[in-house]
Amino acid sequence: MNHATTSSHYIDTLCIGFGPAGLALACVYDEEFTAQGGTGSSSFLALEKAASCAWHPNLLLRNTDINHHVYRDLVTPRNPQSPYSFAMYLKEKNRLFKFGLLGRPASRFEWSDYMTWVAGKLKGYVRYDHAVQAIEPIVQDGQLSGFRVQGDGFTYESRKLILSNGSSPNVPAVFREHMGSYVFHASEYLDRLKAFNGDIPKRWLVLGSGQSAGEVIADLIAKKDDIHVVSVHRSIGFKVAQLGQFPNLVFLPENIEYFKGLDSEGRDRFFNHVKSTNYSGIDVDESQHLYSVIYEDEIVGRERLKMAVNSELLTLVRTDEGYHVTLRDSFTGALSEYVVDAIALGTGYQQPMVPGLLKPLEDFLVKDAQGGLQVDGQYQVALRNSDGVQIYVNGLSERTHGISDGQSFSAVAFRAGVIFESLQASVVVPFDYSI
């Protein structure tokens, strides 16, 4: 078999997504190849749908900060000597000493700027404006022998894929037909607001009890005095996230091994014990701020923020007056009704059992008992009937690897190192697609 490839778009290792997970991987490649006196850009390429690098740009709001330690950046847990650490960023920006005096976490703006700084140094490893729409299997003699990765105006082929495209916004079914300019997920917040051209709707419903919901409410209320928000919660309202040292030990890499050793029932139980460290909770200062808004308004006799707690959404109807929403108290069954102009969903993110982009490869995916991907300790996806091809999930394995492997910075640097080592350990011969 001739293993030389004639395809001008063949890339040895193709990464989809250049958010923190993809960036962290590019850092490893660059460090390793620089150490070998070369460059890794010919063997590793990331395709990113955004036009540039930014960290959750639609939620880069005033007065928001990161909720992890700055040592958990893109590289430090893997290689404290990396040129791509947050400390190196501060040093180059001449803020190393000044940051030390801040006495608070880095702001979301600064953390996004740090990522933009790293991405600027790794330009050769990424193509922006490259939204991957499909991954087609290349099959030879019934065996999966490569991947064709396609988007608008581009096609790449590879035998090693790393999915780093992040979690997907969770949109409850009742909202799906209404999604658009006036009903949207929080992940679209700033773009949607900008599109109002200053004519911001006055009556809002914000669903959810997590950080994004809290931040969206605080931002809306600060925009204009005549904005009213109904804040809908399934439970008792905003709770403070579990910030204690002991529960947060769960984000240490050794806990990934612990979690992986559990059966599926044990994983579910364990996840339920620790999920309040990362989900459905807000910071102390945010809780204080939102509570103060309600309290101070009461003094002057107004109500800009109405808490609708223990509530489930019963119906949502679009009328001439706006969106007619009926809520039901989940304990008493009492109904309450609101008419609003816009709805923001702070309903979090999800990781599907099988990432949407892998659907065309279903025939080759080995599933576990729950129908999800089977992922090994090196984040490699189990494949059947395959000939030397590899797929890795980089930030999409919360179900199999635990809470630090989902929507968190905790494992980003460490995991990139593990994936890189695994790829280096396996020799995959490029395939000749011209046959």
Contacting residues toward ligand FAD, per CB under 6 A: 16-22, 47-50, 56, 59, 66-68, 131-132, 164-166, 212, 395, 407-409
3-state secondary structure the chain: CCCCCCCCCECCEEEECCCHHHHHHHHHHHHHHHHCCCCCCCCEEEECCCCCCCCCHHHCCCCCECCCCCCCCCCCCCCCCCCCCHHHHHHHCCCHHHHHCCCCCCEHHHHHHHHHHHHHHCHHHEECCCCEEEEEEEEECCEEEEEEEEECCEEEEECEEEECCCCEECCCHHHHCCCCCCEEEHHHHHHHHHHCCCCCCCEEEEECCCHHHHHHHHHHHHHCCCCEEEEECCCCCCCECCCCHHHHHHHCCHHHHHHHCCCHHHHHHHHHHHHHHCCCCECHHHHHHHHHHHHHHHHHCCCCEEEECCEEEEEEEEECCEEEEEEEECCCCCEEEEEECEEEECCCEECCCCCHHHHHHHHHECECCCCCECECCCCEECECCECCCEEEECCCCHHHHCHHHCCCCCCHHHHHHHHHHHHHHCCCCCCCCCC
Q: Which of 311/351 has CB closer to ligand FAD?
A: 351
- Kindly state the smallest distance separating residue 150's Cβ from ligand FAD, in Å: 11
Q: Which of 166/430 has CB closer to ligand FAD?
A: 166
Q: Which of 47/183 has CB closer to ligand FAD?
A: 47
Q: Which of 18/44 has CB closer to ligand FAD?
A: 18
- Kindly state the smallest distance separating residue 390's Cβ from ligand FAD, in Å: 19
Q: Which of 61/221 has CB closer to ligand FAD?
A: 61
- Kindly state the smallest distance separating residue 227's Cβ from ligand FAD, in Å: 21
Q: Which of 50/200 has CB closer to ligand FAD?
A: 50
The Cα 380–Cα 398 span in angstroms is: 14
Q: Which of 85/408 has CB closer to ligand FAD?
A: 408
Q: Which of 21/144 has CB closer to ligand FAD?
A: 21
- Kindly state the smallest distance separating residue 319's Cβ from ligand FAD, in Å: 32
The CB-nearest residue to ligand FAD is 19
- Kindly state the smallest distance separating residue 190's Cβ from ligand FAD, in Å: 11
- Kindly state the smallest distance separating residue 165's Cβ from ligand FAD, in Å: 4
> Could you identify the residue written with the tokens 């000044």?
98
- Kindly state the smallest distance separating residue 134's Cβ from ligand FAD, in Å: 9
- Kindly state the smallest distance separating residue 270's Cβ from ligand FAD, in Å: 19
